[in-house]
Amino acid sequence: MRAYQIMTRKVVTVGPETSIIEAANIMLKHHISGLPVVDAAGKLVGIISEGDFIRRAEIGTQRKRGRWLRLLVGSGQIASDFVHERGRKVGDIMSLDPVTVAEDASLEEIVRIIEKHNVKRVPVMRKDQIVGIVTRSNLLQAVSDFARDVPDPTADDDQIRSNVLAAIKRADWSPSRFNVIVRDGIVSLSGIITDERCRRAAIVAAETTPGVRQVYDELSLYPPPEEDFGGGDFVSLQEQPSTVDDVAL
């Protein structure tokens, strides 16, 4: 499998001039732990994550070094820490030159990069433009799909995936940070919903996409219900398309 076959295409981004408060609220709203940072031309210039909010003066967690340690660290690092702990804009605290992958990067390559750089997410690029993002949760979903012993995605599966993504993305009830994986006409839906009625709507949107044979529901409700009533994934079965015209090519 390749990056473009599992990546989340609906990428939430911010600019270097975005305020720290706004970036934090965006992350909370979309239930994500990191944001790519792009300039006015859409070029990726950095990335901001939960870790960048740990050492902040607002909450009193800035670094406190003794005199000797300050001498050892040096004025340059102390100045850099000062900006990171008190800066008001994303550009002040973002990590520069984030590691990225191309659309056709293999999952093996992506995992190797995640392990080597100890990151949780990797932007997917088309030249200098970000077109998606692969996170650890995307890889987890791919592992879950492999367990079903379904063949690798085909060109038809790629087209089905694009059609399902388009059908859901243009809806007012579209889940937050949703993703779709298609293998042999079998669709796996994942993402965050805030209303159970949106779950059924997403499933119907996938079911009614030409070429879809089966739909697995891996959507998560946020906030979670107060009580867990059990139950498993919702599985929807459809009849095999009888003619070539019924399949999205």
CB 185 within 8 A of CB 159: no
Is 67 a residue whose pLDDT tops 80? no
pLDDT tens readout for residues 232-243: 444 444 444 433
pLDDT tens readout for residues 70-110: 677 677 777 888 888 888 999 999 999 899 999 999 988 99
pLDDT tens readout for residues 165-195: 999 988 888 887 788 989 889 999 988 888 8
CATH code for the structural domain at 148-246: 3.30.1340.30
Give me the architecture of the 5-55+92-134 domain, per CATH: Roll (3.10)
- Phi/psi for 141 (5° steps) reads -65, -40
Torsion, CA 62, CA 67, CA 69, CA 70, rounded to 10: 70
Place 203 in a pLDDT band, splitting at 50, 70 and 90.
Answer: very high
Domain boundaries, the chain: 5-55+92-134, 148-246
Is 117 a residue whose pLDDT tops 80? yes
Is 163 a residue whose pLDDT tops 90? yes
CB 238 within 8 A of CB 212: yes
Please give the average per-residue pLDDT across 34-49, as a whole number: 93
- Residue type (1 letter), 56: R
Helices H / strands E in the chain, number of each: 9, 10
Of 153, 154, 125, 120, nearest to 49 by C-alpha is 120
CB 175 within 8 A of CB 198: yes
